[in-house]
Amino acid sequence: MAYDYEKSIRPGKLPHIWCPGCGHGIVMKGLIRAMDACGLEKKNTAIVSGIGCASRMPGYLDFNTLHTAHGRAAAFATGIKMAKPEMTVICCGGDGDGAAIGGNHFIHACRRNIDMTYVLMNNYIYGMTGGQFSSSTPTGHLASTTPYGNPDPCFDLAKLAIGAGATFVARTTAFHANQIDKLIAEGIKHKGMAIIEVLDDCPTTYGRRNKFRSVVDMMKRLKEIAVPVTAAAKMTPEQLEGKTLTGVLHKEDRPEYCESYAKIIARVQGA
Ligand code: SF4
Ligand code: MG
């Protein structure tokens, strides 16, 4: 029997606005399956986003949703989690929103290890605002604001999250649709800050400019660059050149922020 996505979609909200071939729809389906697999109840789940194409996602989902200011999803989500720690809080958004304009909020949410899941769709570009380069646009690649090639080194967003203190960090791609829901579900179950980076594709502002002939070409690239972290140990540095590790990249136990905060309140009130 076909999976029932409709039960999680806000009535009357489809069709979505994403361009043909955009990877965000694949990610949204993965998120829906993950929330279903975790048995999340709509009334106890908050989905938060900033601004951008990926940040339109909560508008389609029939949960408690908040579409906030550019780059501020992690800050609003932190407020929700602090006020209602019993809720499951999920952020979703793109690389420009989450890790460039919102980079400061992103790293500090990781540092605090607050219990939320952040689905970070990395399509290497600011899609909605016209294809400007972001902090994850690869060096030399073309964007509307770098028409002769991006001179900047780019962030490895998963490494950034690990370095900032996130206690669960995983990565997959829009090509690996069957892995997206499993990694998001693992992130939801993890107690602490969980980052799931999904390498995505924007055929409209990134693909055409960087000479991908079709969406199929972009998907082939995602397939080719991905190496499961479990397989990487058996590969040589030469074989790993230009590849990207996928799967669970980091997992650790560390005190969760809301619980630590509650202990301080209890101690002070007790005194
Ligand atoms: Fe997707 Fe790019 Fe279109 Fe935005 S501009 S909806 S990221 S394909
Ligand atoms: Mg983007």
CATH number at residue 194: 3.40.50.970
219 CB near ligand 1 (under 6 Å): no
Complex prediction ipTM: 0.98
CA distance 72 to 217: 33
> Which residues, other chains included, contact 149 with Cβ-Cβ below 8 Å and sequence gap of 6+?
139, 140, 141, 142
Ligand 1, atom nearest to 24 Cα: 1
Q: Which amino acid makes up residue 250?
A: H
Domain assignment present for 50: yes
Domain assignment present for 108: yes
User: Which residues have beta carbons under 5 A from ligand 2 (an ion)?
Assistant: 94-96, 123, 127
Query: Is residue 40's pLDDT more than 80?
Result: yes
Query: Is residue 181's pLDDT more than 90?
Result: yes
Instruction: Kindly identify the ligand whose nearest atom is closest to the C-alpha of 21.
Output: 1
**Over the chain, what is the mean pLDDT?**
97
Query: Is residue 271's pLDDT more than 90?
Result: no
Query: Is residue 34's pLDDT more than 80?
Result: yes
203 CB near ligand 1 (under 6 Å): yes
What per-residue confidence (pLDDT) applies to 45?
Answer: 98
How does pLDDT run across 105-146, given as a tens digit for each residue?
Answer: 999 999 999 999 999 999 999 999 999 999 999 999 999 999
Domain assignment present for 180: yes
Residue 144 is part of which domain span?
Answer: 20-270
**d(CA 179, ligand 1 centre) in Å:** 22
The values of phi and psi at residue 171, to 5°, are: -145, 140
Q: Starting at the earlier edge strand, list the strands of the sheet with 88-94.
A: 64-67, 45-49, 88-94, 117-122, 194-199, 168-173, 244-251, 226-228
Q: Which amino acid makes up residue 189?
A: K
Query: Is residue 5's pLDDT more than 80?
Result: yes
**d(CA 180, ligand 1 centre) in Å:** 19
Mean pLDDT of all residues in 63-83: 98
Ligand 1, atom nearest to 203 Cα: 8
CA distance 80 to 78: 5
Domain assignment present for 1: no
CA distance 69 to 75: 10
CA distance 256 to 240: 34
Tokens representing 89 are: 């809080």
User: With bands split at pLDDT 50, 70 and 90, how would you rate the model's confidence at 89?
Assistant: very high
Closest to 186 in 3D by CA, of 120, 248, 112? 248
CA distance 172 to 162: 16
Query: Is residue 199's pLDDT more than 80?
Result: yes
Ligand 1, atom nearest to 52 Cα: 4
204 CB near ligand 1 (under 6 Å): yes
Ligand 1, atom nearest to 131 Cα: 5
53 CB near ligand 1 (under 6 Å): yes
What per-residue confidence (pLDDT) applies to 198?
Answer: 98
How does pLDDT run across 212-261, given as a tens digit for each residue?
Answer: 999 999 999 999 999 999 999 999 999 999 999 999 999 999 999 999 99
Domain assignment present for 2: no
116 CB near ligand 1 (under 6 Å): no
- How many domains does the chain contain in total? 1
**d(CA 195, ligand 2 centre) in Å:** 16
Q: Which amino acid makes up residue 104?
A: N
CA distance 49 to 218: 25
Rg (C-alpha) for the chain, rounded Å, is: 18
User: With bands split at pLDDT 50, 70 and 90, how would you rate the model's confidence at 8?
Assistant: very high
CA distance 145 to 137: 11
Q: Which amino acid makes up residue 32?
A: I
**d(CA 107, ligand 1 centre) in Å:** 25
127 CB near ligand 1 (under 6 Å): yes
Q: Which amino acid makes up residue 122?
A: N
What per-residue confidence (pLDDT) applies to 64?
Answer: 98
Q: Give the residue, by CA position, lying nearest to ligand 1 atom 1.
A: 22
Q: Quick check: 150 and 137 in contact, CB under 8 A? A: yes
Ligand 1, atom nearest to 94 Cα: 7
Domain assignment present for 44: yes
Domain assignment present for 6: no
Tell me whether strands 226-228 and 194-199 are parallel, antiparallel or unpaired: unpaired
207 CB near ligand 1 (under 6 Å): no
Mean pLDDT of all residues in 175-199: 98
Q: Give the residue, by CA position, lying nearest to ligand 1 atom 2.
A: 202
Domain assignment present for 5: no
Query: Is residue 1's pLDDT more than 90?
Result: no
